[in-house]
């Protein structure tokens, strides 16, 4: 399976291509307007919303403050439940570990529920290279898999496609497909195609929304029932999650679940909420005989080590920041070239891939603050973007750990210009002289002026500096006073 790849280092060109695609823009505009309204309707009481956000933020911050201890507790209680726990430091280690688990069963057929962490480690491509078929069971993921694409949204992977495009895709890939533009019939067609895959699968792979340290329970939120099928029909279940998903108590889950679903899709509750507490026990007649949990770091420890950047890990993956982002709405998810697009992707991807690869993403924001305003756990995304912009350009401050790719976007020209500006600003006489000369030479400014005039007019500079203007006004005032204010 050859998947179309996008890269964060090519964000500008990919965004330009997306902006020129009118179908793509129309698809995203309609979808984002719909999701914004759904969230608005779900939170009709502003006071309740404020209380929920405060509560959810407190839960996430408390759990993150105890993360090392909670991970150990989670491992201990999962093992007590019969769940085998594995640790992966990076994507490559996770790929190898999961592949070995599958191969140890002699399995060649796998179904996978929607899991952004497995997208992050490019699991499907790795398994295919080993001759293992891995079929996505979430309808959106199934569609993008048929299209040989990656998800463009963390909640709705195929949101960039309209029903016409989905029907064309089914016609190309599903045998005996009765062509239709009926959404209900398209969904039914996809489900029938997947039903056989569930029966054939020897291993099921899923993500995890919340991992409860207190009880060793893995919680999975979904709407289609594919998550339950994936985790119960095959004889082996492998759950994969980032280390930040752990919560301390089972009682932490309901408030997070409530604000997650309403922020994501405007639903007060999803159709399914799965609580996985171990493999099948006697005399149970269904469920997997083995359950494995893979805990992935892959750069999250870097964010955890910095108290300010740790707030990034509060995310519960609702996608609300994307739905309200003016940049994401216009360019879509693929333009970012990362597993997690939009505002949350801009602050988490630098930890996963390094600032050298993602420095363009941290500047792809107007800092309007819409993302922070709708975030259910109150992540200060604009502030974190400003911090990452600083770190992309400059070395780490003393006593502060250096990030992967720190200062990778530093420019000698820019650095020199700012140093000259700082020097001039502390020498007023030379500054005023330089500004006066600059104003006189302004008419010789070249056109076009690089990136500035690509989407803006050439700036019209004043004929005098601010200092000259104020000096002239003061002179006139003195003259009027000397003449008794006569005009």
Taking only the tens of pLDDT, the chain with its 487 residues reads 578 889 999 999 999 999 999 999 999 999 999 999 999 999 999 999 999 999 999 999 999 999 999 999 999 999 999 999 999 999 999 999 999 999 999 999 999 999 999 999 999 999 999 999 999 999 999 999 999 999 999 999 999 999 999 999 999 999 889 999 999 999 999 999 999 899 999 999 999 999 999 999 999 999 999 999 999 999 999 999 999 999 999 999 999 999 999 999 999 999 999 999 999 999 998 899 999 999 999 999 999 999 999 999 999 999 999 999 999 999 999 999 999 999 999 999 999 999 999 999 999 999 999 999 999 999 999 999 999 999 999 999 888 889 999 999 999 998 999 999 999 999 999 998 998 888 888 878 777 777 778 778 877 788 888 888 998 898 888 888 777 654 4
Task: Give the pLDDT of residue 248.
Answer: 98
Q: What angle do CA 57, 307, 295 make, to 5 degrees?
A: 75
How many C-beta neighbours within 10 Å does residue 472 have? 11
Task: Give the pLDDT of residue 481.
Answer: 78
Task: Give the pLDDT of residue 485.
Answer: 57
pTM listed for this prediction: 0.90
Helix count and strand count (H, E) for the chain: 22, 10
Rounded Cα gap, residues 57 and 69, in angstroms: 19
Rounded Cα gap, residues 361 and 371, in angstroms: 15
| 151, two tokens | 């998800």
The candidate with the shortest Cα–Cα distance to 206, out of 89, 146, 268, 123, is: 123
Say if CB 111 and CB 154 are below 8 A apart: no
Task: Give the pLDDT of residue 3.
Answer: 82
Contacts of 200 (CB under 8 A, 6+ apart): 109
Say if CB 162 and CB 138 are below 8 A apart: no
Task: Give the pLDDT of residue 400.
Answer: 83
| Helix locations, 122-244, DSSP H | 123-129, 139-146, 163-173, 183-200, 226-232
Task: Give the pLDDT of residue 201.
Answer: 96
């Amino acid at each position: 399976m050859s998947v179309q790849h996008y890269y964060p280092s090519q964000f500008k060109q990919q965004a330009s291509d997306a902006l020129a695609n009118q179908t793509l823009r129309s698809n995203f505009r309609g979808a984002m307007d719909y999701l914004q309204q759904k969230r608005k309707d779900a939170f009709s009481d502003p006071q309740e919303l404020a209380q929920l956000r405060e509560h959810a933020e407190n839960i996430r911050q408390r759990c993150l403050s105890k993360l090392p201890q909670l991970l150990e507790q989670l491992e201990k209680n999962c093992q007590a439940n019969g769940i085998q726990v594995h640790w992966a430091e990076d994507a490559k280690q996770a790929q190898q570990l999961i592949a070995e688990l599958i191969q140890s069963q002699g399995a060649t057929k796998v179904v996978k529920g929607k899991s952004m962490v497995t997208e992050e480690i490019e699991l499907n491509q790795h398994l295919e290279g080993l001759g293992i078929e891995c079929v996505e069971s979430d309808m959106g993921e199934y569609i993008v898999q048929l299209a040989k694409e990656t998800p463009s949204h963390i909640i709705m992977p195929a949101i960039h496609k309209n029903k016409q495009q989905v029907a064309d895709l089914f016609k190309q890939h599903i045998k005996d497909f009765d062509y239709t533009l009926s959404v209900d019939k398209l969904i039914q067609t996809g489900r029938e195609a997947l039903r056989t895959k569930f029966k054939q699968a020897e291993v099921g792979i899923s993500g995890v929304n919340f991992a409860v340290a207190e009880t060793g329970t893995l919680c999975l939120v979904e709407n289609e029932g594919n998550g339950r099928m994936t985790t119960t029909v095959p004889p082996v279940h492998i759950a994969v999650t980032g280390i930040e998903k752990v919560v301390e108590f089972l009682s932490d889950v309901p408030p997070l679940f409530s604000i997650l679903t309403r922020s994501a899709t405007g639903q007060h509750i999803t159709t399914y909420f799965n609580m996985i507490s171990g493999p099948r026990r006697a005399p149970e007649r269904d469920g997997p005989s083995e359950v494995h949990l893979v805990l992935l770091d892959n750069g999250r420890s870097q964010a955890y080590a910095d108290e300010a950047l740790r707030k990034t890990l509060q995310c519960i993956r609702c996608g609300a920041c994307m739905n309200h982002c003016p940049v994401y709405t216009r360019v879509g998810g693929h333009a970012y070239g990362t597993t997690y697009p939009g505002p949350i992707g801009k602050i988490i991807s630098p930890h996963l891939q390094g600032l050298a690869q993602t420095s363009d993403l941290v500047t792809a924001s107007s800092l309007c603050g819409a993302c922070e305003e709708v975030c259910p756990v109150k992540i200060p995304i604009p502030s974190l973007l400003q911090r990452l912009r600083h770190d992309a350009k400059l070395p780490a401050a003393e006593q502060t750990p250096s990030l992967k790719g720190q200062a990778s976007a530093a420019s000698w020209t820019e650095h020199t210009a700012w140093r000259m500006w700082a020097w001039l600003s502390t020498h007023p006489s030379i500054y005023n002289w330089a500004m006066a000369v600059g104003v006189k030479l302004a008419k010789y400014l070249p056109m076009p002026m690089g990136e500035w005039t690509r989407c803006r007019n050439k700036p019209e500079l004043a004929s005098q500096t601010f200092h000259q203007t104020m000096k002239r006004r003061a002179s006139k005032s003195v003259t009027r006073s000397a003449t008794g204010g006569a005009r």
